[in-house]
Amino acid sequence: MTAPQLPNTADELRGAGLRVTAARVALLETVRAGDHLAADAIATGVRDRLGHISLQAVYEALHSLTAAGLVRRIEPPGSAARFEGRVGDNHHHLVCRSCGAVVDVDCAVGHAPCLTASDDRGFSIDEAEVIYWGLCPGCSTQRLTSAP
């Protein structure tokens, strides 16, 4: 018995109701291979794969992929929007105040939405977004070694 094949990028786009284009395939693969990339870094990655693509086309494709649930957009306050391929779970993020590094961290406690609102005001809550702020290990070490 053979193992079932995982869907390829084109199949995922079709399954999400999106037209399959070389740009969308390259963009989705770039996001998934990256680590919380900003749009300009994604554009560079797509250009490395395909050649020219406008930043506007990257933004439009990111919007479509985000709306389809294939990409997640995060926007820590004071930072440009970042995009990631980890979707379908309610994970959170660690953000370094110094260098801006963003790292995934699993749900705070329990199952999604991970937190219970003190007053849901009638909402049916299905997701919670948490950002933990601090210094990454590299910036913490650098700060300690550069202290007088």
**Known binding-site residue numbers for Zn(2+):** 96, 99, 136, 139
| Binding-site positions | 96, 99, 136, 139
Residue 1 parent element (H or E) = none
CA 117 to each of CA 75, 114, 121, 124, 130: distance values in angstroms, whole numbers, following the listed order? 21, 10, 9, 11, 13
Cα torsion 127, 133, 137, 143 to 10°: value is 170
Rounded to whole angstroms, how far apart are CA atoms 107 and 118?
A: 18
Nearest to 138 by CA among 103, 105, 101: 101
With left for phi above 0 and alpha for psi between -120 and 50, is residue 12 left, alpha or beta? alpha
Rounded to whole angstroms, how far apart are CA atoms 19 and 1?
A: 33
